[in-house]
Structure 1
Amino acid sequence: MNLSRRSFGLAAAGAALGALAPVARATAATPSAAAAANTAYAMVYFTESPNGQGADYGLHLAVSRDGLNWTPLNQNRPVVTPTAGEQGLRDPFVLRKQDGTFVVLATDLKGTDFTRWSQYLHVYDSTDLSAFTGYRRLRMHTSSSHTWAPTAFWDAPRGQYGIVYSAVDGGRDVLMANWTTDFRSVGPPQVYFSPSFGVLDGDVVVDGGTTYLYYKNLADGLLYGARSSTGAPNSFTTYTSGLRQGNAIEAPLLARNNDGGWRLWGDSFSPVNNDYYAWSQANIGSNSWAPMNQRDYTPALNSKHGSVIGITDAEYTAAVSRWGAPAWVRLKSYNFPDRFVRHADRAGRLDAYPFDPYQDQMWRMVPGLASSSGVSFESVNYPGNYLRHYDYAVRLDPDDGTATFRADATFQRTAGLADSSWTSFRSHNFPTRYLRHSAYQLRIDPIDSASSASDRQDATFRVTP
């Protein structure tokens, strides 16, 4: 939620959000038939980019078969945008309810003015992620406090859902909870997690008889996991070491793998850094989160502070059929997986993501201009301009209609020279040469079985939305 960036004081918001009330033990619910059949994943998110060119505070949707590499739907445009309150959202969270349908909760805020505090959450319903209906705002409290970064879980003994969110109580950053049966009305707010330091961005899951709560510690800027055998407010004990990748981290997101195991995602502190980092471990209850290589995952373009859920094959198909897959691709470097192929001042480059104009990394991969067996890369933001080599350097030029240009702009797609599950691109008219980066500049160079491992890695890319 980027609260750490704000410089305004919290003392003025000292009014308590509500008296404590007894809370029943939270235990795991029996998974619905739909949840048990999950074979894919969905992510909801909003978008930002370093200079704001990619900022959009509507609800975005992406899907994935492996939960690691994501395909943004609707051309990475919002599938729905709030029309009330601040008329924008941040931090969307998606939950599969007990009836197998979905509910989406989100912060009522458009943009980055974190002094604009709302008492409400945005709420949508969805049957299969092909439509989002029943839009409403849900008032969580009546105090002078924000209502940020919601998460929700099912408490079987209580027969209600808990909605947990970041708020201010007594001048301190805490996690609050309200209880509901229908996401249309809620009970009074209760302090849910308030240790001796400020906390932000909670995510709650129930696994077996244990309730897990992951959060950001505002005192040291790290992510932690806590657990409770009862799930009662302020009954949690932190059991993990502090986690961080990159310069700063927030928005812990727990995702259960469809085939077992867990992943933990963390959002970068600001849109000028990498958007997501990930860890994995087999058992959520252990303190053995291992950082994942960025080579292994690719979040949706410009995605920020989202939520992941397992979905069925039918739900995956319904979402893709309704919203459509992207008409463009990006090329991710194998040995510098935080970098993507782009054009800048007409030069073909490999630059660290994210950047603006973010469209510089987006390509229409079309049948080769010189041979339909190959491919050519047309710029999305400069239509009619293609990546081509000239004196072996790669640059962006307009199609001049000549046979030379068409040949220079055509590449044969092959199995990745460093990893056959990735891709390499061989020059059409210089077939011993491959598209590669060197000192982050793109060019075509001779590469064969005798070439170094580094050269082969330089010429290997992931084609991804």
Structure 2
Amino acid sequence: MSPEPHRKTRPMSRHRLHPLLILAMALFLALAGTLTAATKPAHAATGPAYVMGYFTESPNGLGSDYGLHLAVSTDGLQWTPLNQNNPVVTPTLGTGGLRDPFILRKQDGTFIVMATDLKGTDWSRQSQSIHVWESTDLRTFTNYHLLKLHSMATHSWAPEAYWDASRGQYGIIYSSVNSSGHNVIMVDYTTDFQTASGPQVFFDPGYDTIDGDLAVGVNGVNYLYFKNNSQGKLLGAKSTSLNPGSFTTFTSGISHGGTEAPIVVKSQTSNTWYLWGDTYTPNGVFYAWQTTDLSAGTWTPVDQRQYTQPLNSKHGTIQPITGTEYDNLVAHYGKPGWNRLKSYNFPDRYVRHADFVGRIDPYPFDPYTDSEWKLVPGLADSAGVSFQSVSFPTRYLRHANFQLELDVNDGTTTFAQDATFYRTAGLADSTWTSFRSYNYPTRYIRHSNYVLRIDPISTATDKSDATFSVGY
């Protein structure tokens, strides 16, 4: 069919300022500490930011990698993987792999990275040591070594560290089986992360307990979140000291399916605290809860529209960083060369191709690259976009009989037009994105029974079906 008429909008004209005036304005704003996002590089943070460390696993193992991965965020909710979601450093000692990384900013402002010494899921491996790196900027990693925490015939899982001002030492907490016969949270003390004092029981509620995460010194109280390993739920304990044995449980169980690996982190711009949990049913899905009163121990689920975890991420750690540190990390590692598209009304589902048909499916899945797209200049109009598959680079999403398929670009005008779309403000939410067909400009990409097609949009449901988040 011949394309229906469509209109193109022209960008608004902009007046040019004299270069010396621009420089003077920038210097003034920099001195005032108020340099705006408009004058920063495109990747720049507008204020405080966050870094996440993690390893990766996917359902069939295609995305599994047991090195340290990093992602960054400007709000602590939407995450951008660095280094194309490849590891930034990989262990060479012990098992040659890591799980459960943790990033600590030390008292001197530099970083310590620790992790479980385990490659894969052979839980019978019993490593008494953990991986340790030092870093000034999370771009270079030095003094890599194994740190032995104990001599028991058991493991050292999910290490985390904190500063204990009363001792003038760092505490390293981790999960191990002691004489009780079940996992407890142990603690070793260190000043240099080269040697450790030897294990003490830090917390034992009387049942199998792993994955401890601390929030220290919050209005004079310390909070420990952990996994009840028997029930697959997260619980919180608290104490006015950091002494071993001083914590008592004060919350009910928090979970979404089987949940582990709690991360407690405070927003740098509000009084909101977030609790992240990593599920193992289904595998590797992060869920988030929030509260403005950590002492209450009650958490409200965060709408999944508000957050997006890094692709294939497992058992993460979140550390606040500065805007400058964010900029330096992005400049060093780069953002992904691909995007993922999340559904607005089914935010657990992402746009992918399966058997060369466009659809939305629940995350996670393999091949995970079926959900990765290069949004390239439109084949029929560079002002639009076309969706090039990462899995099949010669193929693009195009409509045929109004359904979206992944087809090889045959170089024809018809194919180029069928595979070109214009980005617009989201029809259900203007902060999201909708995609209007180039050659059927009254139709938009939407999902129907989870299959993608182009349709005219009229109802509220239609608008929700046609709205997506373009992220990573």
Compute the TM-score of the two structures, normalised by the length of structure 2. Answer: 0.88
Counterpart secondary structure, 1:258: coil
1:274 Cα offset (Å):
5.1
- Aligned pair partner of 1:439 in 430, 449, 453: 449
Letter in 2 for 1:454: T
Counterpart secondary structure, 2:210: strand
Distance 2:390 2:289 in 1: 33
Distance 1:142 1:419 in 2: 56
Distance 2:171 2:471 in 1: 37
Structure 1 residue runs of 4 or more that deviate by more than 4 Å after TM superposition: none
Taking the TM superposition and a 5 Å limit, the aligned residue runs for 1:347-358 are 347-358=357-368
Counterpart secondary structure, 1:164: strand
Distance 1:198 1:48 in 2: 24
- Aligned pair partner of 2:245 in 234, 237, 248: 234
- Aligned pair partner of 1:429 in 433, 439, 445: 439
The answer to whether the 8 A contact 1:368-1:409 is kept is: yes
Counterpart secondary structure, 1:275: strand
In structure 1, list runs of 5 or more residues that go unmatched.
1-36
The answer to whether the 8 A contact 2:57-2:284 is kept is: no
Counterpart secondary structure, 2:252: coil
2:403 is aligned to 393
Counterpart secondary structure, 1:285: helix
Deviations 1:364-423, CA, capped at 9 Å, x for gaps: 000000001100000001012100000100000010000000000000000000000000
Deviations 1:21-66, CA, capped at 9 Å, x for gaps: xxxxxxxxxxxxxxxx970000000000000000000000000011
1:220 Cα offset (Å):
2.3
1:457 Cα offset (Å):
0.3
Q: Are 2:275 and 1:268 equivalent residues in the alignment?
A: no
1:84 is aligned to 93
Identity of aligned residues (%): 59
Letter in 2 for 1:142: S
Taking the TM superposition and a 5 Å limit, the aligned residue runs for 1:38-117 are 39-117=48-126
The answer to whether the 8 A contact 2:157-2:211 is kept is: yes
1:273 Cα offset (Å):
3.4
Q: Which has the higher contact order (CA 8 A, sep 6+)?
A: 1
The answer to whether the 8 A contact 1:210-1:231 is kept is: no
1:254 Cα offset (Å):
0.6
Distance 2:401 2:47 in 1: 51
Letter in 2 for 1:223: L
1:336 is aligned to 346
Counterpart secondary structure, 2:151: coil
Distance 1:113 1:343 in 2: 33
The answer to whether the 8 A contact 1:386-1:399 is kept is: yes
Counterpart secondary structure, 2:294: coil
Shift in alpha-carbon separation, 1:66–1:112, aligned structure 2, 3 A: same
Letter in 2 for 1:242: G
The answer to whether the 8 A contact 1:274-1:338 is kept is: no
1:461 Cα offset (Å):
0.2
Counterpart secondary structure, 1:144: coil
Counterpart secondary structure, 2:324: helix
Deviations 1:200-219, CA, capped at 9 Å, x for gaps: 11101212321111011123
2:464 is aligned to 457
Distance 2:112 2:293 in 1: 27
Counterpart secondary structure, 2:464: helix
The answer to whether the 8 A contact 2:360-2:451 is kept is: yes
The answer to whether the 8 A contact 2:284-2:313 is kept is: no
1:211 is aligned to 222
- Aligned pair partner of 2:236 in 213, 222, 225: 225
1:365 is aligned to 375
Letter in 1 for 2:336: P
Distance 1:432 1:131 in 2: 51
Number of aligned residues: 424
Distance 1:131 1:362 in 2: 28
Letter in 2 for 1:343: H
The answer to whether the 8 A contact 1:273-1:353 is kept is: no
Letter in 1 for 2:331: S
Q: Are 2:390 and 1:380 equivalent residues in the alignment?
A: yes
In structure 2, list runs of 5 or more residues that go unmatched.
1-45
Deviations 1:144-183, CA, capped at 9 Å, x for gaps: 0100011111111211111000001012110100001111
Taking the TM superposition and a 5 Å limit, the aligned residue runs for 1:411-426 are 411-426=421-436
Letter in 2 for 1:217: N
Q: Calculate the aligned-residue CA RMSD, in Å.
A: 1.1
Distance 2:323 2:284 in 1: 30
Letter in 1 for 2:252: S
Letter in 1 for 2:225: Y
Letter in 2 for 1:411: F
Distance 2:272 2:434 in 1: 32
Letter in 1 for 2:194: R
